Structure 1
Amino acid sequence: MTLFDSFLTRATLAGVGVALAAGPLGCFVVWRRMAYFGDATAHASILGVALALAFSVSVFAGALLVSLAMALAITLLSGRGYGADTLLGVLAHSALAAGLVAVSFLPGVRIDLMAYLFGDILAVGKLDLAVIWAGAALVTGLLAWRWQSLLTATLNPDLAQASGIDPAREQMILTIALAVVVAVAIKVVGALLISALLVIPAAAARPLSSTPERMALMAAAIGAASALGGMQISYSFDTPTGPTIVCLAAAMFVLANTGARRIARRFR
């Protein structure tokens, strides 16, 4: 028996892998106020799952392609007569509804929708684990490679343009990274909770960080701690694992913000 034969070990490693990629990426989601953007991309992944099952291809590939298509569509359609929140709302809910309807037309296919909506981390296999860590490594490497350009384009697009950095290109890089994280995280926390794993650890890290780099590292650490702690709590109290991980991350967000305020008041 090897280490990876234990479903708890595979689940724990899957949660940590997703958290390490989602934390730093979530910082850009928070800085750019893209939370709803991430939500729309995550909802679209359900349609990708349905298409993958219909054509008997990898669920990861289907979720990735549809998530990427949705993210690109949102990027291209932004600013064409509709507010960003309206456009995101229409596309997010339309894609989710289309995915759920498409699943109902699959003859002879049994699918546990709850697993894709809220995650089924305990069912992660060795191949799933390899895909999750490969996707996490790709996203982490991409962010590290483009960090300074992404940061400049996020903080000051005009300065980025003057420095020879194309803000639209950096936005596209974030879009691709977001689609990859959504595709690998759907097995862990599900389509409805992916955006929470992106936003909450980053938001919790914000009051504890003095630099963008520190915030990215703190977000990754908080996400990983949420995955590890959520797994333990879920195992001990027999609660759904994905939602438990998100609840623990939310508790850390509350503690981080209340603790930061108390420290600030003490040193006034």
Structure 2
Amino acid sequence: MGAEEMSAVLAEQIGRADRPRCRVHRDAELQAWHGLLASIEGDEWQRRTVCDEWDVADIAGHLIGQAEDVNRPLSFPRRYRKAKRVYPDVPRIDAHMMIQADEHRGTPPAELRTGFDRTWAKATQKISKNPELMRRMSMTFNGYRMNLGYIHDILLARDLWMHRDDVSQALGRPFDAGPYAEELVAQVMYDVIDGPFWGERPAVEVELTGPGGGTYQLGRGEPVGRAAVDAVAYMRTLSGRDDAPVVTGDPVATEAVASCRMPF
């Protein structure tokens, strides 16, 4: 095995980013979103995105809703109940996010900008101060059980990052993955192998290229092949946004890498 192949990081050994580091990730994304929202003009708010039924303004509304659910203890259960009633045929957590967007649809752009900054400034502070007992509370979404600390620390920063890419694509702008892209992507790769998502796929090495890139081993045992794919593009694929990623390498490895999906 060559020196390049030996450099692969075992995804299962990455470990979870700690709470202070997650705050750094989250706040960097909030700063990036502040600049992005300030730059959107006119009918750009109505540009359709890769997220079904959502335009750019809807994504901003959904993200404001995420922060509101952190800030107001009754917001999440109220929307969760409403989601079942309004969208009975949609997976419950997805329906909940649709309610978030629905409740902010039609908000003027200036209010979206100020609302985003205001609610997230409060939310990121609240997340950092939540007591450990609250963080250990767990819930099940679409069959996956997770605790509140993981949702707040890992999933919210990931959601902010991935939706920023969605908006950049909709606007036809290049996506700036940011200074912590490699760390955010590493947490995704850890989740791929730590959860049930890789399943019975064979062990492979995958080189993620471009911003956020790195080389990882997914699966346990001796790798049966090696694949390469753009890091941001692969996050789109894992999250179900793009089912036709450009993956090169050994066929057994490219099939394993291209076929994996996980909730974001």
Query: TM-score, structure 1 length as denominator?
Result: 0.27
Higher RCO (CA-CA < 8 Å; seq separation 6+): 1
Query: TM-score, structure 2 length as denominator?
Result: 0.28
Which structure has the highest helix share of the two?
A: 1
Which structure has the highest strand share of the two?
A: 2
